[in-house]
Chains A and B, each alone.
Chain A
Amino acid sequence: MIFYVWLVFGFFGAFVIVNTGVLLLAALQLRRYVTGASASGLRRMIRSPLTPPISVLVPAYNEAAGIADSVRSLLALDYPKLEVVVINDGSTDHTTDRLVDVFDLREVRRPTPPFLPHRPVRAIYEPRGLLRLLVIDKENGGKADSLNAGINFAAYPIFCTIDADSILEQDALAKTVLPFVEDPHKTVATGGMVRVANGCRIERGRVMEAHLPRSRVAMFQVVEYVRAFFGTRTGWTALNALLIVSGAFGLFRRDIVIAAGGYRTDVVGEDFELVVRLHRTCRDAGRPYRIVHVPDPVCWTEAPEGARFLRRQRRRWHRGCLETLLIHRRMLLNPRYRAVGLLAMPAMFVFDVLGPLIELSGYVVSLAAFLFGKISLVTFALFLTVSVLYGLFLTLSAITLEDATPNRHPAWSDLGRMLLYALGENLGYRQVMHVWRTEGFWQLIRKAEWGAMERKGLSGPEPAADHAAAGPESSPR
């Protein structure tokens, strides 16, 4: 019993130290970013002939409805040179036909480059005109498989992964490529911020007006995302220990990813696994590198609004998280991998994997202790209060940091809603997330039964709102 109490206290203590530390680093990193960023600098980069061209890879499964708009808005991005590569992952609707129609494509015969393995390509389509668009029609193999095909055919040294129904802001690509321009040799991958699109006015694949969502479930996720991106990812970047570059919006050096073996098709969280593997291969090769989260650029994505879909998503994320940590368990607490192995991965294991279990059991045990008269009501209440308040502190700090990024003009009413939901997030939402994550944990344990179900296309039985296998990692509390 005493051991258990010490465990919980130790956990909470470590949690506070690590999270507060990461938060402080995030503040410093953000300040460095804001002082360095300038509007004329960005325009200069966009006009510079030295700016690297980018291949935007869009894996698509049954996206006939919105794919034309997505592609068009990608081609219209404010970036000097880019190509869009759509990988049709064996859709059963007319995704390819729609593209051929809208963009006047014709079938060409091109050999499949042999760099990464993937399911066979059925056809390749190119435009008759001058558009930089390529459509790969291949057999169904899942998102990772599609990305590998896209990487094979990509013409440019940097590729961008994006979900078919995500929307990039005009300058998002330029802002996210900046670290590559600043240091072309060291920079291996960068990621931008993902925001919840529910509630925004969207037309023809563009966000016309940004609004906070009406739905409660979506609002909670807004708060969650802010804490994950501004509290966590920005902070870990400062230590070059960023573990997650969201599959919904990330840029990678093509040659490095090919050398590392591309995406693994046998894991649930392929984007998370790739980033961890990039850390590993770069360190193993003794190659100086950095993986950077850029706080400013925005990719809009639909967040699941129904509890059922959200639950499915979180269970999947958690499975992916644990699976990757197990695969790369050699890196845990291994000084060879510096901050990634010594700090970030153990922190993720303790707080994101064990954390939900410890916290939930903490509630149960302290409730039991109170009911059995071991601790007073006051102590029990204080215990709960501390837990809620610390989570609130982290969330509010992240919200404050987000407000410090340039060009955000939130209304006062928005701030009010955010604060309210920040409170609510810590008073129930997070606890529910813990339950679902634990469920994900159990699912992984029973993996054999689930394995077959997962490989059914990108989203399979799940709705399109279920992407980015690894989402923002929310701290357990």
Chain B
Amino acid sequence: MKVLIAEDSSTVRRLVAARLTADGYDVIEAADGEAALALARQEHPDLLILDKVMPKLDGFEIVRALREDPATRAVPIVMLTDRTSEEDVLGGLHLGVEEYMPKPFSPHELSARVQRTLNRAGS
């Protein structure tokens, strides 16, 4: 299973990548919004993990762009972000984000949620 992680903090990105790799996923990393969108369209990952606040392109804008493109419309998205106000969460869910993982987070838990989301999407 291929997972794309888009996060501008290289530390967090590496943490998530190591955890997911150890759990058997194929991980692609993107450091900013533009790269994330390009890689999503190119690599067709099975799931995306996005931060909301990123340079160049906002997390929400990426979700919107992906949902508008028929090729990527169905990709499940998990938002990993410290923006957890009511607007942020509801806004994201409205756009089609499957899961919200607030920061500070536990990589273990994130991996479990990834698994659960993929199971749900698969069935």
Residues B53 and A130 in contact, CB atoms below 8 Å apart: no
Which residues of the other chain, B, contact A47 by a CB distance below 8 angstroms?
A: 82
Q: Is the CB of A130 within 8 A of B86?
A: yes
B58 at the interface (CB under 8 A from A): yes
Check A105 for interface membership: any CB of B closer than 8 A. no
* Chain B proximity of A36: nearest CB distance (Å): 22
Contact (Cβ within 8 A) A132 B87: yes
Type the 1/0 row for A96-139, where 1 means its CB is closer than 8 Å to any CB of B.
00000000000000000000000000000000011110000000
- Which residue in A43, A46, A130, A204 is a CB contact (below 8 Å) of B91? A130
A211 to B99 CA separation, bound complex (whole angstroms): 38
Q: Which of A74-82, A266-274, A311-319, A461-469 contacts B (4 or more CB under 8 A)?
A: A74-82
CB contact between B56 and one of A78, A81, A129, A206 (< 8 Å): that residue:
A206
Inter-chain CA distance A76–B81, complex, in Å, is 13
Q: Which residues of A contact B90 (CB under 8 A)?
A: 130
- CA of A84 to CA of B85 in the docked complex: distance in angstroms? 16
A203 — nearest CB in chain B belongs to which residue? Answer: B56
Residue of B nearest to A171 (CB): B53
Pair B53/A78 contact, Cβ less than 8 Å: yes
Chain A residues near B60 (CB, 8 Å)? 76
A45 to chain B: closest CB distance in Å? Answer: 12
Question: In whole angstroms, how far apart are the Cα atoms of A300 and B91 in the complex?
Answer: 28
Q: Which of A384-435 contact B (CB under 8 A)?
A: none
Q: Report how many residues on chain A are interfacial, defined by Cβ distance under 8 Å.
A: 16
Given contacts A76-B58, A170-B53, contact A130 B87 (CB under 8 A): yes
Q: Is A378 part of the contact surface with B, judged by Cβ < 8 Å?
A: no
Known: A130-B90, A130-B91. A80 touches B53 (CB 8 A): no
A81 to B83, CA, bound (A): 10
**CB nearest neighbor in A for B52:** A76
With a cutoff of 8 Å between Cβ atoms, the chain A residues found around residue B56 in the complex are 206, 208
Chain A residues contacting B94 (CB-CB under 8 Å) are 129-130
Interface residues of B in 74-90 (CB under 8 A from A): 82-83, 85-87, 90
**Number of B residues contacting the other chain (C-beta, 8 Å)?**
16
> A132 vs B88: C-alpha distance in the bound complex, in angstroms?
11
Nearest residue in B to A77 (C-beta to C-beta)? B53
Which residues from B are CB-within-8-Å of A208? 34, 56
**Hey, what's the 0/1 contact readout for B37-77 against A, CB within 8 Å counting as 1?**
00000000000000001011110110000000000000000
B82 touches A131 (CB 8 A): no
Flag B96-109 by CB within 8 Å of A: 1 or 0 each.
00000000000000
- Judged by DSSP, the binding face of A is loop
A78 contact set on B, CB distance < 8 A: 53
Render A20-60 as a binary contact track against B, CB cut-off 8 A, 1 for contact. 00000000000000000000000100110000000000000
Pairwise interchain contact B85-A46, C-beta atoms closer than 8 A: no
Contact with B along A207-224 (1 / 0, CB 8 A): 010000000000000000
Cα–Cα, bound, A47→B60 (Å): 19
Chain B residues with CB under 8 A of A130: 86-87, 90-91, 94
Give the shortest distance, in Å, between B65 (CB) and chain A (any CB). Answer: 11
Residues of A within 8 A of B55 (CB): 170
Q: Please, which residue of chain B has its CB at the minimum distance from the CB of A208?
A: B56
User: Which A-chain residue is minimally distant from B83 (CB atoms)?
Assistant: A80
- A130 nearest CB neighbor, chain B only: B87
Interchain CA distance A335-B87 in the complex, whole Å: 50
State in angstroms the CA–CA spacing of A132 and B83 once bound together: 15
A134 to B60, alpha carbons, bound, how many Å? 20
Measured between alpha carbons, how far is A428 from B56 in the docked complex, in Å?
A: 38
Known: A129-B94, A130-B91, A170-B53. A80 touches B58 (CB 8 A): no
Q: Are A80 and B87 in contact (CB under 8 A)?
A: no
CA of A130 to CA of B93, assembled, Å: 12
Kindly state the separation between the CA atoms of A47 and B104 in the bound complex, as whole angstroms.
Answer: 10
Indicate which residue in A46, A72, A131, A170 contacts B87 across the interface (CB closer than 8 Å).
A131
Contact with B along A181-209 (1 / 0, CB 8 A): 00000000000000000000000101010
Closest-by-CB residue of B relative to A73 is: B58
Bound complex: CA of A466 vs CA of B70, how far in Å? Answer: 43
Give A132's nearest chain B residue, CB to CB.
B87
- Cβ contacts A to B, 11 pairs, < 8 Å: A72-B61, A76-B58, A76-B60, A80-B83, A81-B85, A129-B94, A130-B87, A130-B91, A131-B87, A206-B57, A208-B56
Which residues of B are in contact with A by a Cβ distance under 8 Å? 34, 53, 55-58, 60-61, 82-83, 85-87, 90-91, 94
Closest 10 CB pairs of A and B: A76-B58, A130-B87, A78-B53, A208-B56, A130-B90, A47-B82, A130-B91, A170-B53, A206-B56, A81-B85
Residues of A that sit less than 8 Å from B by CB: 43, 46-47, 72, 76, 78, 80-81, 129-132, 170, 204, 206, 208
